[in-house]
C-alpha cells in the first residue's frame, strides 16, 4: 500500500482543509449558542448555501459517479476528506450525494428519486432499525401485505437519521414471514405524503434521529426498490457501504482535540510549572498521539481494500471498533487535561465528548463489531495477519 498523494489529490485535500478553516470553524460559537437554545446548529438554508459554495469549486457528490455529475473520488480520498470535515463539529456535509442502494432504482424511479436527491431537490432516509430490531436487522417486524396491485405497510422504525427532514424513505418490511430475512423482506420507496409520519427523538448529543410510524400506508407496486423479497440484500449493501467513513471523521476530531490539549498543557501552570512538564500529562498526550496514528492507518487500510475491490468488511469492522473506543478515550483525556474548564460549556470539549460517544453505537455497536471480527477469525474467513477472502 502506498498512500502518497498525487499533486492533484493534495490540492483536493488542502482545499477542503481551507474550506473548513474559513467557512466552518468561524461558525462554531454560533452553532454552540443555537444548540444550547435547543435549535439546529445550522439551518437547512445555511447548509445549502455552504454546499453551493463548495460546488462552485467543484466539490459536489464526493463519491457520486461522474456519470451522475459527481466527483467519483476513491475510498481513500473520501476518508481523507472526511477526516478534514471532522476537524469541526459544525454539521456540514457535501451536497450531490445519494444512498448507494438508490442506484439500483429502475429508470422511472431514478427520475423520481435518485436524480432529485443528487441535485438536492429531495431528501431521503434509510429505515430498517425498529424498537425490537436494532443490531439484529433480521428481527424486523414491520409488515407489507399485498392488496391487489398495492402493498399496505404497518409498523414502526426508530433512530432513523434524517427521518424528520426526509420527504421519502427507503423502508424495509416483511413481505413473506415464512421466508424470513433471506427472501422475505422487501424495500419500498415511500413518499411522506403517502401517509407515514415522523417523531423527533431527543438524545444526549446533537444527533436528532426520528421514529417513523406506518399505519396502513398504501403504496403501489411500482414503489418497490429492486425485487420483492430481496430487500435484505439491499440493506446489507447500505450498511456496509462505508463503515470506514465514521472513524475517518473521528480522525479529524481527535487531531483537533489533541492540538487543543497540547496548547493548553503548554500554557496552563500549576505549582509554578507548566502542566506539560508533568509526566501524567505527557503520557496522556503520548498515548493519544499513538492511538490517533494507529486509527489513521486502520482507516486508510480499510479504504484501500475498498478501492482494490477486496472484501473490506473485516478491516472496516476493525477500524470502526478501534475508532469508537479510542476516540472516546482521547476526548476523555483531553477533557481531563483541561480540568474543570473542560467540563464547562465555555469550551467545545464537552460537545465533542457527547458527539463521539455515538460512534460506539451508530451503524453497528462495539459489541456487533467484536462479534463480526471474532466470527470471521473463528470460522476461518480471515487468518491472523491476512485479509478477508
Per DSSP, 242 falls in state -
Provide the pLDDT for residue 125: 94
DSSP 8-state code for residue 330: H
232, 138 in Cβ contact below 8 A?
A: yes
Active-site residue list: 363
What distance in Å separates the CA atoms of residue 290 and residue 19, rounded to the nearest whole number? 28
Residue-wise DSSP of 201-233: ---SSS---EEEEEEEEEEEGGGEES-TTBHHH
Task: Specify the pLDDT at position 285.
Answer: 98
Q: Which helix (H) or strand (E) holds 143?
A: strand 143-147
Grid cell 422511472 is found at 108
pLDDT digits (tens), the chain, 389 positions: 777 888 988 999 999 999 999 999 999 999 999 998 888 899 989 999 999 999 999 999 999 999 999 999 999 999 999 999 999 999 999 999 999 899 999 999 999 999 999 999 999 999 999 987 766 767 889 999 999 999 999 999 999 999 999 999 999 999 998 887 788 999 999 999 999 999 998 888 777 889 999 999 999 999 999 999 999 889 888 877 778 999 999 999 999 999 999 999 999 999 999 999 999 999 999 999 999 999 999 999 999 999 999 989 999 999 999 999 999 999 999 999 999 999 998 889 999 999 999 999 988 899 999 999 999 999 999 988 765 44
Place of cell 502542566: 275
11 CB-near residues (< 8 Å, 6+ apart)? none
- Angstrom distance (rounded) from CA 366 to CA 362: 9
Q: Which helix (H) or strand (E) holds 303?
A: helix 279-307
DSSP per residue over 78-136, as a string? HHHHHHHHTT--S----SS---GGGGGS-HHHIIIIIHHHHHTS--EEEE--BTTBSS-
> 129: number of CA atoms within 13 Å, CB side?
19
Whether domain 241-378 has CATH 1.20.140.10: the reply is: yes
For residue 283, the tally of other CB atoms under 10 A from its CB is: 11
274 three-class SS: strand
Query: What are the sequence ranges of the domains in the chain?
Result: 7-99, 122-238, 241-378
Does domain 7-99 correspond to CATH entry 3.90.800.10?
Answer: no
Name the DSSP letter for residue 23: I
For domain 122-238, which architecture applies? Beta Barrel (2.40)
Residues 6+ away with beta carbon under 8 Å from 234: 101, 104, 172, 187, 225, 226
Vertex 244: Cα angle to 23 and 335 (nearest 5): 60
Per-residue pLDDT, 137? 64
- Cα separation values, 86 from 43, 147, 245, Å: 19, 47, 10
Amino acid at each position: 500500500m502506498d498512500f502518497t498523494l498525487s499533486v492533484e489529490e493534495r490540492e483536493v485535500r488542502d482545499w477542503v482543509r481551507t474550506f473548513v478553516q474559513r467557512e466552518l470553524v468561524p461558525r462554531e460559537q454560533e452553532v454552540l449558542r443555537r444548540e444550547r437554545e435547543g435549535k439546529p446548529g445550522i439551518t437547512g438554508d445555511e447548509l445549502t448555501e455552504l454546499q453551493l459554495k463548495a460546488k462552485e469549486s467543484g466539490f459536489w457528490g464526493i463519491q457520486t459517479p461522474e456519470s451522475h455529475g459527481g466527483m467519483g473520488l476513491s475510498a481513500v480520498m473520501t476518508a481523507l476528506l472526511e477526516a478534514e470535515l471532522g476537524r469541526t463539529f459544525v454539521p456540514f456535509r457535501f451536497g450531490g450525494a445519494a444512498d448507494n442502494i438508490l442506484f439500483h432504482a429502475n429508470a422511472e424511479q431514478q427520475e423520481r428519486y435518485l436524480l432529485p436527491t443528487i441535485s438536492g431537490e429531495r431528501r431521503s432516509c434509510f429505515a430498517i432499525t425498529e424498537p425490537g430490531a436494532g443490531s439484529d436487522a433480521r428481527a424486523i417486524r414491520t409488515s407489507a401485505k399485498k392488496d391487489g396491485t398495492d402493498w399496505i405497510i404497518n409498523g414502526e422504525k426508530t433512530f432513523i437519521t434524517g427521518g424528520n427532514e426526509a420527504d421519502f424513505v427507503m423502508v424495509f418490511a416483511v413481505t413473506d414471514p415464512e421466508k424470513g430475512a433471506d427472501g422475505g423482506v422487501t424495500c419500498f420507496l415511500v413518499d411522506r405524503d403517502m401517509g407515514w409520519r415522523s417523531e423527533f427523538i431527543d438524545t444526549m448529543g446533537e444527533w436528532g434521529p426520528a421514529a417513523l410510524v406506518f399505519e396502513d400506508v398504501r403504496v403501489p407496486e411500482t414503489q418497490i426498490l429492486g425485487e420483492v423479497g430481496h430487500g435484505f440484500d439491499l440493506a446489507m449493501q447500505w450498511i456496509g457501504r462505508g463503515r470506514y467513513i465514521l472513524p475517518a471523521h473521528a480522525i479529524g476530531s481527535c487531531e483537533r482535540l489533541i492540538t487543543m490539549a497540547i496548547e493548553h498543557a503548554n500554557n496552563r501552570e500549576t505549582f509554578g510549572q507548566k502542566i506539560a512538564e508533568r509526566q501524567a500529562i505527557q503520557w496522556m498526550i503520548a498515548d493519544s498521539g499513538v492511538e490517533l496514528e494507529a486509527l489513521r492507518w486502520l482507516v486508510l487500510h480499510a479504504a484501500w481494500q475498498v478501492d482494490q475491490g477486496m472484501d473490506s468488511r473485516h478491516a472496516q469492522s476493525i477500524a470502526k471498533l478501534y475508532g469508537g473506543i479510542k476516540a472516546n478515550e482521547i476526548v476523555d483525556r483531553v477533557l481531563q487535561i483541561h480540568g474543570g474548564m473542560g467540563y464547562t460549556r465555555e469550551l467545545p470539549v464537552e460537545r465533542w465528548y457527547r458527539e463521539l460517544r455515538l460512534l460506539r453505537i451508530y451503524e453497528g455497536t462495539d459489541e456487533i463489531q467484536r462479534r463480526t471480527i471474532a466470527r470471521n477469525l473463528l470460522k476461518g474467513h480471515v487468518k491472523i495477519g491476512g485479509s478477508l477472502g
